[in-house]
Amino acid sequence: MRYGFTVPNNFGVDDPAEVVALAVEAEQLGFDSVWVNHHVLNVGYVWDRLGEQPYHDALVTLTWMAAHTSQVRLGTSVLVMPYLHPMVLAKELATLDRLSGGRLVVGLGVGSLPEENALLGAEYDDRGRLSNEFIEVLDLLWTQPSADYRGHYYSFEGAVSSPKPLQQPRPPILIGGNRPPALRRVGRLGDGWHPMMLSPESVAKRLPVIREAAEAAGRSGIPSEVSVRRTANEVTPELAASYAAVGVTELVVSWNTGDIAEISEGLAAFAAEHGIGG
């Protein structure tokens, strides 16, 4: 089992350098990956948690984490596609993949906060269709010298995106979500699956949907990764073994607090309990 850690860029920490320092600690302890959260505006349940406190930008924070680490994989958990543009994101992520020495893991999701979509002028009701096109565009821009695309939301000819990612043919794309449309999206378009808070039994129940969608699309070995996000204090060595038994390859843990000292102590204790870095 691999272990990852999601930093509290979404928990109102005043100094983002303290958030990055936790990622450095996680690497030193032997965690395999570090991840960032993504929202743009403090609205809805984000406002309920933070009010006007900081929610630091996902990609800027991840880039700073890349500059201060050397081994851990760098993940997004998850980027909300309707808030972004795939051409802009393709260049940003390819550059980050090169700067980090090929350590990027691209977690993507459709989002679930209609108030934020409304303020951003972003699609919500048809966000699944938009997100399918978004992933197809990313893949083309990263893998083709010159890309053409005809879709409902994106249409273009002769688009050249450079640089290409260091990882070839592209960084792994892990798709978040627990419902059937998200599972089928993993099978058709993703490399791996990044659900939140699912039990081992729930993971096992949903994996056949992914595999069936992949088979129907003529793809094999999907999902290549199953990376489940959980709250750290819920994960025991016994639970981790149950996840491994159903095919989970990584557990990504977080602490639901912005207390830096508490998280730092928790990282060390979690690493010791689970034999990380041993």
pLDDT per residue over 70-114, tens digit each?
999 999 999 999 999 999 999 999 999 999 999 999 999 999 999
Closest CA to 140 of 124, 151, 129, 128: 151
> How long, in residues, is the chain?
278
Q: Which residues of the chain have pLDDT under 70?
A: none
| Amino acid making up residue 152 | H
Rounded CA-CA distance 7/96 in Å is 18
Using CB atoms within 10 Å of the CB of residue 161, give its burial: 0 to 12 exposed, 13 to 18 middle, 19+ buried: buried
> Model pTM?
0.97
Q: What DSSP designation does 54 have?
A: -
Nearest to 108 by CA among 131, 136, 85, 74: 131
pLDDT for res 51: 98
DSSP string, 210-236: HHHHHHHTT--S--SEEEEEEEGGG--
DSSP element (H, E) containing 180: helix 180-189
What domains does the chain contain, in order, with CATH numbers? Answer: 9-33+41-59+69-209+218-274 (3.20.20.30)
What is the pLDDT, as a whole number, of residue 278?
76
| Distance (Å, whole) CA 91 – CA 93 | 6
